[in-house]
């Protein structure tokens, strides 16, 4: 789905984390309310979201320069993909990857994050924040042909000076790589939860119990 100004609707991938109670911006009950028409979505474009949308393409191109063994393929018009067996498991990736030597395909997910507190940066130490990890697992469910994925994260700190011209922007770039075979157990759990959410709660119009995020 292409939203305002031709931008991709990014909600579909992040919904998977909401089902598990790992989306900090939406609970599983709120997602159920959206899916059953009890709640309407509000399109709110923040400056951070605008920045992320505009930065996505050059960051994908930079990935291709840094990792030349992969061919980066930008999906035409943010092609929406669906799992053939479970059509409600759907989403769009930022870019597909083709490993030139082996011809294996995977995908690239790009995240831009404004670091406003030290705790935010710690979430990225040697790991991906859980909501983004689940989002990437969801895309592996969408397309079983994907054998691996990369997540490219740009962490941005803006150090405020006395005036706008005195501000200093500091960027840290991180790359995370996962093979499908390494995450099969997590994929199995997520698949079960997504099917349950749709079949038992959305289709039956039954409110799920609230799933609280882990502490």
pLDDT for residue 119: 63
Q: CB–CB of 142/136 below 8 Å?
A: no
What's the pLDDT tens digit per position in 11-42?
Answer: 578 899 999 999 988 999 999 999 999 998 87
Q: What is the mean pLDDT of residues 141-155?
A: 96
pLDDT for residue 158: 80
Report the C-alpha gap between 132 and 111 in whole angstroms. 9
Band the pLDDT of 213: cuts 50, 70, 90. Answer: confident
Tokens of 28: 């599983």
Helix (H) or strand (E) holding 211: none
Q: CB–CB of 115/155 below 8 Å?
A: yes
pLDDT for residue 125: 81
Most confident of 5-19, 36-50, 56-70, 155-169: 56-70
Average pLDDT taken over every residue of the chain: 87
Smallest CA-to-CA distance from 130 within 9, 210, 21 is with 21
| pTM as predicted | 0.88
For residue 125, give the DSSP letter. T
| SS3 of 166-195 | HCEEEEEEEEEEEEHHHCHHHHHHHHHHHH
């Amino acid at each position: 789905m292409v939203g305002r100004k031709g931008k991709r609707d990014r909600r579909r991938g992040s919904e998977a984390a909401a089902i598990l109670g790992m989306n900090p911006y939406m609970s599983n009950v709120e997602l159920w309310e959206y899916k059953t028409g009890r709640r309407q979505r509000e399109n709110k474009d923040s400056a951070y979201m605008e920045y992320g949308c505009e930065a996505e393409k050059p960051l994908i191109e930079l990935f291709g320069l840094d990792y030349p063994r992969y061919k980066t393929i930008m999906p035409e018009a943010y092609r929406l993909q669906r799992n053939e067996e479970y059509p409600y498991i759907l989403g769009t990736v930022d870019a597909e990857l083709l490993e030139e030597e082996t011809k294996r395909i995977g995908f690239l997910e790009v995240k831009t994050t404004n670091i406003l507190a030290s705790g935010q940066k710690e979430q990225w130490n040697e790991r991906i924040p859980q909501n983004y990890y689940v989002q990437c697992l969801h895309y592996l469910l969408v397309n079983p042909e994907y054998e691996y994925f990369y997540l490219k994260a740009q962490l941005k700190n803006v150090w405020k000076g006395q005036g706008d011209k005195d501000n200093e922007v500091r960027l840290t770039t991180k790359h995370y790589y996962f093979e499908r075979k390494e995450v099969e157990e997590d994929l199995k759990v997520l698949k079960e939860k997504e099917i349950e959410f749709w079949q038992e709660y959305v289709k039956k119009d039954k409110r799920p119990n609230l799933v609280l995020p882990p502490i």
